[in-house]
Structure 1
Amino acid sequence: MRRLWAWEEDLLGECRALLDNVVVQYNVYDRWQWDPDPHEGYTVRGAYQALTSMEVPTIEGGGELIWHKQVPLKVSILAWRMLKDKLPTRSNLQRRGILAAANTTCLSGCGLEETASHIFLYCEVFGSLWQHIRSWIGMSGAHPQNISEHFLQFTHSTGH
């Protein structure tokens, strides 16, 4: 078994801290609850319906591009979460109380806050990958200033 990396040890410490106040009681029934349908519980069909019935971004034609039948569902979900700022970035995890405030810096080590905009647009490590992809597919144009522009540039480069 390998030793944990420093960042893994930090996450383990945070996990332990979160579990410190958990009390397991022998005679108490625990269960997970799926909020969209607390009676039936979680089903893949229910999750799909919850995702596809939610309001799509206010990008003109965005809904048709995100939930297009030829786009794999996992890609559609990623695009939808990206546009709604629901990706598990360190900033979002900190806002939900999952990570400590001190742990919101980008995983690349650049020292800036890890947000979707930072990862996809501004990060010297990860954001630069998109520049390589743009070059590889022969896409030119202005550098996107926000996630919506980023999404539109890539979807319009496909001819849609």
Structure 2
Amino acid sequence: MVAKVQTEMTIDVAGEEVEGSGELRWSSGHLGAGGSFYNHSSRNTTWLNIVKVGEYIDSLNINFRNSFFKKIGDGRSTSFWNDPWLISEPLKDKFPRLARLDSCTNVKVIDRVIRDGENLCFCGSWVREPRGRNSSDLDHLKMLLDQFQGYRSNEDSWVWKLSSKGTFSTKELTSIINSRTFSVNNNFIETLWNNFVPKKVEVFVWRARHRRIPVLEELDKRGIDLHSVRCPICDGSIESVDHSLILCPLANDIWLKVLNWWGFGGLTNWSINEIFKGKANCVMSETGAKIL
């Protein structure tokens, strides 16, 4: 299903919050307005990728695609059946049979919840009168509508439930994703980020510490058929992450030259994880410790 999210919501770009324009369409199990987007996305790789991003974020237990809902102002731009406004899901998902009986599937809230004196009441327009189970669903719907607080003078607006401010920003979403992706527990190596070095270096170090470098030992573990797993440079040992980055004579010479350049002593703990845990045995300056 499709949500048409007005991008008057705040969107963060490169750390700065700016006001967007036009519409942001988002595919969601609980956000939607008709099936046109689904049909369009099935032919458009860009939109399919956007949908996959939403699915991936949900897989991190963030519930992103259900995090948008409509806050009612004057009720003129919110679809009564298709937008999540009264409860956490669209009413057409909660009451699918009633939605199909409505004579106008994209009717607005203002056209179905009308003021009768000081009270608000539901004004249905049906293809045929609800009977049996549909009648029970209608009673349930009216009970939910009793919770509606009424209209306001401002326009309807989208609210993002994952933000305390209610406005969507990519910066805040990134922070939420990072908190789930890079959380530290007993099964994972602590993630170290350091503004002193370029991002690509930080990423490489993270991959090295998690054995995500495509050295011969790791490729062999993943079932790739290799002629040999020995180091192609020195042929003195298996090409592991530690060997290729530290223990290989060529890498070792580079380490010693760099350490001598910085005025350090030699390292005795030759392991990537020990170095970046700060347990390597060498004397270094404050700047050198920050780099390592």
Shorter-chain-normalised TM-score: which range? Answer: 0.5 to 0.7
Partner of 2:126: none
Q: CA RMSD in A?
A: 3.9
Which residue in the other structure is 2:235 paired with? 110
Measure how far apart 1:148 and its partner are: 1.7
Aligned to 1:39: 52
Aligned counterparts of 1:155 and 1:95: Cα–Cα separation in 2: 39
| 1:40 alignment partner, SS class | helix
Q: Which amino acid aligns with 2:206?
A: W
Aligned to 2:194: 68
- Number of residue pairs matched? 117
Q: 1:121 to 1:84 in 2, by over 3 A?
A: same
Q: Which has the larger radius of gyration?
A: 2
* More helix as a share of residues: 1
The structure with more strand, counted as a fraction of residues: 2
Match among 119, 132, 139 for residue 244 of structure 2: 119
Task: Show the counterpart of 1:132.
Answer: 257
Q: Secondary structure at the match of 1:125?
A: helix
Question: Identity rate of aligned residues, in percent?
Answer: 24
Which stretches of structure 1, 4 residues or longer, exceed 6 Å deviation after superposition?
Answer: none
Match of 1:4 in 2: none
Moved more, 102-111 or 132-141: 102-111
Amino acid at match of 1:135: N
**Gap change, CA 1:107 and 1:132, over 3 Å in 2:** same
Report the more deviating stretch, 145-154 or 110-119. 145-154
Q: Which runs of 5 or more residues in structure 2 are unaligned? A: 1-44, 57-170
Query: What TM-score, normalized by structure 2, do the two folds share?
Result: 0.33
The 5-angstrom pairing of residues 40-59 of structure 1 reads 40=53, 53-55=181-183
Aligned to 2:107: none
Partner of 2:52, secondary structure, is coil
Give the equivalent residue in structure 2 for 1:150. Answer: 275
Structure 2 distance, partners of 1:79, 1:126, is: 15
Q: TM-score, normalised by structure 1?
A: 0.55
Once the two structures are superposed, residues 79-102 of structure 1 have per-residue CA deviations (whole angstroms, 9 ceiling, x without a partner) of: 11111111111111121223x243
Structure 1, unaligned runs of 5 or more: 1-30, 32-36
Secondary structure class of the residue paired with 1:80 = helix
Partner of 1:79: 205
Distance 1:122 1:159, change over 3 A: closer
In structure 1, the residue matched to 2:59 is: none
